[in-house]
């Protein structure tokens, strides 16, 4: 009789993976509704919701409809929204961005009145409010017309304070100005809003994936590009340093944007120690939707995989246009 000694077999075979019952117990991470933040677009000029063509399933909402949308998300278990405004009036100084009766300010008040527990985050930037479409005040620089850093800081302070006055829990400055977090922290504290958190778009790449957002938020620019204030996709050391600097300036939450193509950067930024949000941007949403609509990808599987991998890479929070949809699936699971 031939005796086969068992040691010729590998001792650590992955038996566990073969048991469907055991798999859930051994799962390293799971997506939860508390991880998700839903971005919402509020349009001052419309009276009924308007589909965003480049983002199937997403809408611009009228001011008087936004509280209802937030209430629906709340019922599904979503606990945070990120508001973007599309104003009636645009001018070079973005004055409607800090108007107490501006579109975001009204929307914040309505959401807080209807769903007090909802964490309301506001995008603090000027690109939806300037007629030239840049993220702050522009002027002549030695390289031609471009964003003026320090003048724009004062504008961001005004915008953030007006959002805080309206009831925002967290302000999210998204224009990557130098010194912005320190400037905002001081301005908010001095205005009596020391409890308002700052979620900085600390590592924001100059990405083609923001394309559909420009239709969604009506924020395309009329000259130049944003490469002078956003990071070039190949630079990871710079990307991490940007988040570190915002942490040093007093940010409460850091952000990496876009998410899926930048997981290496995300996992590094997570080591800084602050909570990190990852923004799965409009282009990431639209790519999945388009492929799913063509029957080329399975929609639900692809969405859940994309979000799971973003969490695995180190995100504590994920800003995603899929938030409402995914919340329903998590109930089924
Ligand atoms: C505004 C802002 C942008 C996005 C979020 N805030 C556009 C940009 O920086 O060009 C993009 C979000 C998305 O694409 O989903 N500064
Ligand atoms: Zn902007």
Exactly one of 204, 289, 298, 300 is catalytic; name it.
Answer: 204
Residue with more model confidence, 208 or 5: 208
User: CATH no. for residue 255?
Assistant: 3.20.20.70
- Number of structural domains (the chain) is 1
Distance between CA atoms of 220 and 197, rounded to whole angstroms? Answer: 28
Dig out the tokens for 242 from the structure.
């940007």
Residue 21 lies in a domain: no
CB 150 within 8 A of CB 198: no
- Closest ligand 1 atom to residue 213 Cα is 14
The rounded percent of the chain whose pLDDT value lies above 70 is: 94
- Pick from 175, 171, 184: which is nearest to 148 by CA? 175
How much is the pLDDT for 6?
A: 59
What token pair was written down for 161?
């304070």
pLDDT at 328 over 70: yes
Report yes or no on 165 lying in a domain.
yes
Q: Which tokens is 198 given?
A: 């700052």
In a domain, 69, yes or no: yes
**Rg of the chain taking only CA atoms, in angstroms:** 22
Look at residue 268 and tell me whether its pLDDT is greater than 90.
yes
Active site residue 76: no
Shortest-distance Cα residue to atom 12 of ligand 1:
281
Given a cut of 80, is residue 236 above it in pLDDT? yes
Rounded alpha-carbon distances, angstroms, from residue 230 to 98, 181, 208, 258? 23, 16, 12, 12
Q: Which ligand is nearest to the CA of 84?
A: 1
- Domain for residue 313, yes or no? yes
Is pLDDT above 80 for 140?
A: yes
Determine the average pLDDT of the residues in 135-154.
91
pLDDT tens by residue, 76-93? 999 999 999 999 999 999
Atom of ligand 1 nearest to the CA of 204: 9
The pLDDT-based confidence of 22 (bands split at 50, 70, 90) is: confident
Our mutation pick for probing the ligand 1 site, out of 87, 136, 174, counting the most ligand atoms within 8 A of Cβ, is 174
CA distance 184 to 104: 18
Domain residue limits at 55: 31-332
The total of other beta-carbon atoms located within 10 Å of residue 86's CB is 22
Q: How far apart are CA 102 and CA 161, in angstroms?
A: 13
Closest-CA residue, ligand 1 atom 2, reads: 174
Check if 88 is active-site. Answer: no
Does 300 fall in a domain? yes
pLDDT digits 0-9 by tens, 44-88? 999 999 999 999 999 999 999 999 999 999 999 999 999 999 999
229 ligand 1 Cβ < 6 A: no
pLDDT class of 26 with cuts at 50, 70, 90: confident
Q: What is the pTM of this model?
A: 0.94
pLDDT for position 204: 96
Do the domain assignments include residue 20? Answer: no
> Which atom number of ligand 1 is nearest to the Cα of residue 219?
7
How much is the average pLDDT of 19-42?
91
Higher pLDDT, 220 or 56: 56
Residue 24 lies in a domain: no
Q: How far is the CA of 217 from the centre of ligand 2 (A)?
A: 10
Residue 157 lies in a domain: yes
């Amino acid at each position: 009789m031939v005796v086969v000694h068992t040691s010729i077999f590998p001792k650590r075979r992955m038996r566990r993976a073969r048991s469907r019952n055991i798999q859930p117990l051994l799962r390293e991470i799971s997506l939860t509704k508390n991880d998700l933040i839903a971005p919402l677009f509020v349009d001052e000029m419309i009276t009924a919701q308007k589909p965003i063509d480049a983002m199937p399933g997403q809408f611009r909402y009228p001011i008087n409809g936004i509280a209802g949308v937030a209430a629906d998300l709340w019922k599904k278990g979503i606990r945070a929204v990120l508001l973007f405004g599309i104003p009636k009036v645009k001018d070079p100084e973005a004055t409607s961005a800090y108007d107490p009766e501006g579109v975001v300010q009204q929307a914040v008040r309505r959401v807080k009145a209807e769903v007090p527990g909802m964490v309301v985050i506001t995008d603090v930037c000027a690109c939806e409010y300037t007629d030239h479409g840049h993220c702050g005040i522009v002027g002549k620089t030695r390289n031609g017309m471009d964003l003026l850093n320090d003048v724009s800081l004062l504008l961001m302070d005004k915008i953030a304070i007006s959002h805080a006055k309206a009831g925002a829990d967290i302000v999210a400055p998204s224009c990557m100005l130098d010194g912005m977090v320190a400037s905002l922290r001081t301005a908010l504290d001095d205005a009596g809003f020391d409890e308002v958190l700052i979620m900085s778009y600390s590592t924001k790449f100059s990405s083609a994936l923001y394309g559909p957002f420009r239709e969604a938020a009506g924020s395309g620019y009329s000259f130049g590009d944003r490469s002078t204030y956003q990071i070039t996709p190949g630079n990871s050391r710079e990307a991490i340093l940007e988040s570190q600097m915002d942490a040093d300036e007093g940010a409460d939450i850091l952000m990496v944007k876009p998410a899926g193509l930048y997981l290496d950067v995300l996992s590094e930024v997570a080591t800084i120690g602050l909570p990190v949000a990852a923004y799965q941007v409009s282009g990431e949403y639209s790519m999945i939707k388009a492929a799913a609509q063509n029957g080329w990808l399975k929609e639900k599987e692809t969405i859940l995989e994309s979000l799971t991998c973003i969490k695995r890479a180190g995100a504590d929070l994920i800003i995603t246009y899929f938030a409402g949809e995914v919340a329903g699936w998590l109930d089924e699971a």
